[in-house]
Amino acid sequence: MKALGEDAPYDALTPELILDGLDTNGWQTTGKLFPLNSYENRVYQVGVYEEDREFDIVVKFYRPGRWSKEQILEEHSFSFELVDDEIPVVPPLCRAKRSIFETGKFMFSVFDKVGGRAPNLEDDSVLRWMGRLIARTHLKGAIRRYDVRPQIDVQQFGFGPSRDVLASGYLPEGLSDVYDGLIQRALSEIQDRFSSRSDFQDIRLLGDCHIGNVLVSDDTMCFVDLDDSVMGPSIQDLWMLLSGDRESMQRQLREILKGYEQFRDFDYSEVPLIEPLRTLRMINYAGWLANRWNDPAFQTAFPWFSTQRYWEEHMNHIREQISAMDEPFSI
C-alpha cells in the first residue's frame, strides 16, 4: 500500500517557475537560486536587485494542500502583530499589500535573509532570554484566537496521525496490532491528562519552538519560522527547549520561567502536560512521515522510516513515554 501523501508534489516547481513567479510579483531576480534545507515546504535563497543593489531573499513555497490561504494569512497576521510590538520575528515581505503570492499551482511567501547562529541553551542567561521573548509572544498570542488554524488536541495530533500510520502500509508485518494497541493506550493517557486540566488557556503559539527556529546575532535573538503556529497551552513553546535527564530539564525550565515571569504570569498547572505533549509530538511525527513518504525528498532524508528497527524503537519510545507520563514533572 502506498503512503497517503501526494506523489512528488514539487516536481512542477522548476527554477524557471520560481524565478518567473518572483519577477511577476515585483521582485527582479538575478538568476541566483540556492535550495535551503526544508522538507515540509521548499525554501530557496534567491538573488534579487533593487535600485542598483544586489541582495538575497528567502522564498518559501508552501506544500500544496497543507495549509489553506486563510490559514497562512492568519499566521502572517500574527507575525505582523509581533513585529508591531517590536518582538523579534522574521515576517513575510509584502508587495501591493499582499504577503502570499502564486505561481503555477504553488503559493509562496518571501522573507528577508537573516543570519545568525543557534542559541546556546547550556547558558542559563540564554534560557532566561528565551523565556522573556516567548512570554512577550504569548502576551500577544493571548489577545485573540486563531479562527482557522489548528488547535493542539489528541484527535488531530494523535488519533488522526496514528490512523494514517496504520493505513500507510509501512508498518512491518506483524507490528500493526501491537502498534495500534500501544498508541491507543498512550492516547488514552494523554486524553485523561488533558481532560483533568481542561481549564488551561489556549493561546496562539509559535508552535515549533526549538533551537533550529531561533537565530542569535550579536545582541539580538529572533524567531524565524511560524509555519507551525497553532492554538495551544503556553507550555508547548517551552518544553521543546528542554533536554537531558529529568533533573536537567527541571533546572532548565526553572531558568526559562525566571525570564518568562518578568513579562507574563505562568500557569504552573500546565507543567504536567510536558510529557503528554512530548508523546503527542512523537505520534504525530510518525504520522507526518507516513503522509509524506511518497515525496522523494523524504525517502532520501529518512531512509530508515519503513524499517523494522525504526518501528521497534518508535514503539519502545512510546512505552517509555507512557511511564514518563506517570512520573510527576515538578519544578
What pLDDT, on a 0 to 100 scale, did the predictor assign at position 198?
A: 66
> Catalytic site residue 225?
yes
Take residue 213 and report the three cell numbers written for it.
Answer: 527556529
For 15-112, CATH number out of 2.10.10.100, 3.40.1360.10, 3.90.1150.200, 3.30.200.70 equals 3.30.200.70
pLDDT averaged over 10-residue windows placed end to end, the chain, 331 residues? 59 96 96 93 96 94 96 98 96 96 97 93 96 98 97 95 94 93 97 83 94 89 94 97 94 98 96 96 96 89 92 97 89 83
Are residues 328 and 272 in contact, defined by beta-carbon separation less than 8 angstroms? yes
Among the options 153, 164, 202, 225, which is catalytic?
Answer: 225
Take residue 97 and report the three cell numbers written for it.
Answer: 499589500
Are residues 36 and 44 in contact, defined by beta-carbon separation less than 8 angstroms? yes
What pLDDT, on a 0 to 100 scale, did the predictor assign at position 204?
A: 98
- Residue closest to 183 by CA, chosen among 198, 167, 161, 168: 161
What pLDDT, on a 0 to 100 scale, did the predictor assign at position 2?
A: 42
The Cα 289–Cα 308 span in angstroms is 15
- Residue closest to 275 by CA, chosen among 215, 190, 181: 190
Among the options 153, 164, 202, 208, which is catalytic?
Answer: 208
What pLDDT, on a 0 to 100 scale, did the predictor assign at position 53?
A: 92
- Residue closest to 122 by CA, chosen among 286, 249, 230, 1: 249
Q: Where are the domains of the chain?
A: 15-112
> Catalytic site residue 208?
yes
The Cα 111–Cα 44 span in angstroms is 10
Strand spans (E) along the chain: 29-36, 42-50, 53-61, 101-103, 106-112, 203-204, 214-217, 220-223, 231-232
